[in-house]
Amino acid sequence: DIQMTQSPSTLSASIADRVTITCRASESISRWLAWYQHKPGKAPKLLIYKASSLQSGVPSRFSGSGSGTEFTLTISSLAPDDFATYYCQHYKSYEGLSFGSGTQVEIK
């Protein structure tokens, strides 16, 4: 199974900060990676698919990059609405389709 490792697990940041979250795969997944934002009691929200494609309606301050085993999600200027938990997910194949453990972005 492909393991997804996210870092950091918790991130403290201020409004307008540039924030970067890393996701590493245990083997190459090409660009088959998605990022989600999740707030308590709400439905998770797709932000990025295929490593760097911005989902329709998602603010342009969110961007994704990477390929192979290392990927990043960047928020260029943190907004109040962005405090949430972020998950990466690989979809290289059904076998072991899995999520990272999450990164909680909290107010500094």
What tokens does 64 get?
A: 């994704």
Q: Count residues binding other proteins (CB under 8 A).
A: 24
Q: Which of 63, 65, 74, 98 binds other proteins (CB under 8 A)?
A: 98
Q: 40: cis peptide before it, omega within 30°?
A: no
Q: Which of 11, 13, 46, 58 binds other proteins (CB under 8 A)?
A: 46
101 counts as binding other proteins under rule CB under 8 A? yes
* Alpha-carbon span 24 to 69, nearest angstrom: 5
Give the x-and-dash track for 47-76 against other proteins (CB under 8 A). Answer: --xx----x---------------------
Compare residues 17 and 65 and give the one whose CB is closer to other proteins. 65
DSSP one-letter code for 78: -
DSSP letters spanning 5-49: EEE-SEEEE-TT--EEEEEEESS--TT-EEEEEE-TTS--EEEEE
Which residues contact other proteins by CB under 8 A?
Answer: 32, 34, 36, 41-46, 49-50, 55, 87, 89, 91-92, 94-95, 97-102
